[in-house]
Amino acid sequence: MWYKVKELFDTGLNISQIRKETGLDRGTIRRYLHMDEQCFHEWIKRPRRLPKKLSEYHTFIRKRLEDQPYLSSAQIEDRLKEHFPDLPVLHSKTIYNFVKCIREQYKLPKDTEKAPRDCQKLPETPYGEQAQADFGQGFVQTAAGTRVKVYFFAIVLSRSRHKYIYFQDFPFTTATAIYAHELAFDYFKGIPKQILYDQDRVFMKSENLGDLLLTEGFRAFCASNPFKEVFCRKADPQSKGKVENVVKYVKHNFMRGREFKSIGLLQQECEAWLKRTGNGKVHSGTAKVPAKEWAIERKHLLPLTTAPAKPSQTWPEYAVRRDNCVVYKGSFYSLPPGTYQGQGTKVLMEVKGNSLCLYNTAKERLVQHVISTERGTLVQYEGHKRKVSARLLETERQLLEVLKHPRAEDYLLMIKQDKPRYYQDNLKVMLRAVTGCHQQFIHQAVDMCLDKNIRNGNEFASILEIHRKQDPMFYSYDPAGIAIRSAAYMDQDMTPEISNINFYDSLFN
């Protein structure tokens, strides 16, 4: 197997392709590729029977798998941690391998929770009656060794198995899917009476218990063409097995090992492949050549209605999250606040080199980001961060004017860092407490809070309340100040909060 992996790698296959050919794990393939022949021979001579760290839990795991064979290794890991607090620290892969060994040893397959689906072969449909359509995607390697993700639309005439494939380098939208249909009809020289689809978001919004809600563009397309659209139920790929096989055929026969030069050349190569192989070889199911069968079926197809019209510059649509972000290749990219307008909000995306441009549906640019090379990162434009409200800034300014303490800003910063979500609430409580108070007592309260590390507006107000009860000179004699204090408390709830008296005894003792 080591020689086989080396041979496949030398022919230009990558790790994913080698895995499909050999069935080996990716880690095993990487380990083989990093070994020369001498290291490999030394490695295989080592004893292979290693002690199993989970041997003492063998009975427990076996009993769980016998009672509930559908449990995954991750669930078994959680059960072990739940019942054995002293379980040693193990990698999840170790538990997975051990569970796999027990399944193989005692013949406990995982897929016994569901009964296998009962299927039957259906008779062939009449000529021109039906076609099946679906989408696919995959990676093609470039001459530089990088991989390019491509998307394709596949459609096959059910009787003749005559196929058509359309490639593009960005996800399909309703407009590009319609264009792919028009190209397929032109390729077939006619339109089938019925087309079978998955419940794809490009075509429909909701199943609605049989009352299908199609997207606006696709509904108009169907209304202007003579075919009848039929949608499979969710998670039911067997209903359109012919096109599912075509998607696999394209991936494993046409795309595998092919070098990507441009999307236009890829389409030309695909059409040549269809002529000589996809539609030119004998079909294993019908034992007939699809191209020859199509010559018969085309006479039964409905006439064409329009010529293919390539849509104007189209950019794929991406859903906007509630936090005003879009997800692209596993990373999050910010949008201006307010972009999200409820479920179904979309933006258009354009990739230019290493830049990502986002537009609204009117094609007005919203923002441009540099594409992140790491998955799971947040790329945020500085202007998209939540702005501090004007009301908060005004409350803070008023409080600083009343406190007039040399360290007032430091004290407010302490509260902000300690309670960022309740910062404005603390400011309001403090502002009500200090309004009309004599400056001497305000400074004493701030000093005490700084000294005792008190970071709470209610505690600050309680300290001032203690001063008020102990000193008749607590309030400022400025009539305007008293008026301000009275007005500030006019609409407030005057029910005092109950605090622990021991706390205040410790402050003044």
Q: Which domains does the chain have, with CATH numbers?
A: 2-106 (no CATH), 130-300 (3.30.420.10), 317-384 (no CATH), 390-508 (no CATH)
Q: Does the pLDDT value for residue 288 go beyond 70? A: yes
1-35 confidence digits (pLDDT tens) = 888 888 888 888 888 888 888 888 888 898 888 88
Q: For residue range 398-421, what is the model confidence (pLDDT) as tens digits?
A: 888 888 888 888 888 888 888 888
Instruction: State the pLDDT at residue 496.
Output: 53
Query: What does the pLDDT look like over 339-398, one tens digit per residue?
Result: 898 888 999 888 877 888 898 888 788 888 988 888 889 998 877 776 667 788 888 888
**Which has the closest alpha carbon to 184: 240, 241, 243, 126?**
243
CB-CB contact of 172 with 191 (8 Å): no
* pLDDT, position 195: 93
pLDDT of residue 226: 92
Spatial separation of the C-alpha atoms in residues 313 and 488, rounded to whole Å:
60
- State the pLDDT at residue 254: 93
Q: Are 185 and 195 in contact (CB under 8 A)?
A: no
Give the mean model confidence (pLDDT) for residues 31-40.
85
Q: What percent of the chain has pLDDT over 70?
A: 85
Q: Average the pLDDT over 320-331 and give the result.
A: 90
Q: What residues does 327 pair with on adjacent strands?
A: 332
Between residues 385 and 196, the one the model is more confident about: 196
Which amino acid is located at 221 in the chain?
F
Quickly count helices (H) and strands (E) in the chain: 19, 15
280 in Cβ contact with 291 (< 8 Å) = yes
Rg of the chain on CA atoms, in Å: 35
62-87 residues labelled b (16+ CB within 10 A) or e (exposed)? bebbeeeeebebeebbeebeeeeeee
Burial (CB < 10 A; 0-12, 13-18, 19+), residue 128, is buried
Distance CA 189, CA 310 (A): 18
- By the 8 A CB rule, do 12 and 257 touch? yes
Can you tell me the mean pLDDT for 175-190?
Answer: 93
The mean of the pLDDT values for the chain is 83
Question: Roughly what angle, to the nearest 10 degrees, separates helices 73-83 and 58-67?
Answer: 130
How confident is residue 489, by pLDDT bands cut at 50, 70 and 90?
Answer: very low
Determine the residue type at 413. L
The DSSP secondary structure of 218-234, one letter per residue, reads HHHHHHTSSPEEEEPPT
Confidence (pLDDT) at 114: 56
The better pLDDT of the pair 76, 315 is held by: 76
Torsional sign, CA 331, 337, 342, 346: negative
